[in-house]
Amino acid sequence: MPHKQAEHIDLAKNRASLTRFAWLSIAAAVVTITLKSGAYLLTDSVGLLSDALESLVNLAGAVMALLMLSIAARPPDESHGYGHSKAEYFASATEGILILGAAIGIISAAINRLLQPSEIGQLGLGLGVSVTASAINLSVARVLLREGQARRSITLEADAHHLMTDVWTSAGVIGGVGIAGLTGWHILDPIVAIVVALNIIWTGIRLVSRSVAGLMDAALPTQEQGLIADVLEKYRQQGVNFHALRTRQAAARRFVSVHMLVPGDWTVHDAHHVAEDFESDIREALGSVVTVFTHIEPVEDELSMEDVSLDR
């Protein structure tokens, strides 16, 4: 039994309200690009150049997040009866791909600097500017991550993880460039950039993998499967059995479908009300917007036990 259409509308409003966080991310990206580019021009450090390049990717990712959150906020229509929430996966996948592209650019610049070493200039001022940019990214990332987890937005979570990657990148770059400038070991500058790029690649791969899993209708996480199992056990104690349980996730929305096997002497009225209670308990257990489908069958019917395949 599908959940009420009103929840589709509530979810759309929820996604629409998230666009302000995408605008916050865009503003932060513009400011940090300006600061980090200035730091690179002051020092001519390839490490700081890699940091500035990643901020360009942050801006592209934030713009993509804004577009996809706007699409996800659209209410269901005739062509998209379950809404548009899966659009968020395209944003997180794009961010992952952009991160991988930035890493390749960083490695390329670092290799060129390894082949043609150069001294770092105006170290103190350049690093000071970079630290300021990193502080901005850290603050925005914490806001995005908190809201993304609280409101189950993979787009905001991806953007937050992207910014946190930038923060760790900057920390490594600042440390490496600082040591290189103070000791005269200029080879540390491109080496730090390469190490940073490898870390960025790992983050990008994880983002793309998570997005692909969502687009491929992967089952809900193990923890949420356990919550569903607890609800099933509660109703088994009332004489109800279950099979053909299937779950999937589309960004903030969860989908659960299951066959309920009830005693054959129950009336349709009784079975319907138990199914309604069951669906309500599932939604309460998962604590998010959930669409629950139940298919009622008589437990005594042999055909019921055979009715478990997806394409029956």
pLDDT digits (tens, 9 = 90+) for 172-209: 777 777 777 677 777 777 777 787 778 778 878 887 88
> Is 312 a domain residue?
no
Q: Are residues 238 and 298 in the same domain?
A: yes
Identify the domain boundary among 215, 240, 273: 215
Q: Are residues 198 and 253 in the same domain?
A: no
Confidence band (pLDDT; 50, 70, 90) for 47?
A: low
Q: Are residues 29 and 102 in the same domain?
A: yes
Q: What is the CATH number of the domain that holds 105?
A: 1.20.1510.10
Q: Is 21 left (phi over 0), alpha (psi -120 to 50) or beta?
A: alpha
Q: Are residues 211 and 273 in the same domain?
A: no
pLDDT digits (tens, 9 = 90+) for 90-112: 777 887 887 788 778 778 877 87
Residue 2 clears pLDDT 90, i.e. is over it: no
Highest mean pLDDT: which range of 8-22, 110-124, 132-146:
132-146
The confidence score (pLDDT) of residue 9 equals 45
Q: Are residues 134 and 275 in the same domain?
A: no
In whole angstroms, give the CA distance from residue 193 to residue 60.
21
Identify the domain boundary among 215, 241, 260: 215
Is the pTM higher than 0.75? no
Number of domains in the chain: 2
The confidence score (pLDDT) of residue 288 equals 65
Q: Are residues 142 and 203 in the same domain?
A: yes
Confidence band (pLDDT; 50, 70, 90) for 263?
A: very high
Q: Are residues 269 and 170 in the same domain?
A: no
Q: What is the CATH number of the domain that holds 278?
A: 3.30.70.1350
Q: Which domain holds residue 232?
A: 222-306
Residue 245 clears pLDDT 50, i.e. is over it: yes
Q: Which candidate, 32, 31, 66, places its Cα nearest to that of 48?
A: 32
Cα dihedral 55→60→66→71 (10° resolution): -150
Residue 269 clears pLDDT 90, i.e. is over it: yes
Confidence band (pLDDT; 50, 70, 90) for 292?
A: very high
279 C-beta neighbours (distance < 10 Å), count: 22
Q: Are residues 78 and 115 in the same domain?
A: yes
Q: Are residues 192 and 298 in the same domain?
A: no
Confidence band (pLDDT; 50, 70, 90) for 310?
A: low
Q: For residues 178 and 123, is the Cβ–Cβ distance under 8 A?
A: yes
Q: Are residues 247 and 173 in the same domain?
A: no
pLDDT digits (tens, 9 = 90+) for 147-159: 887 777 777 877 7
Amino acid at position 287, single letter: G
Identify the domain boundary among 164, 185, 215: 215
The confidence score (pLDDT) of residue 234 equals 94
> Is 17 a domain residue?
yes
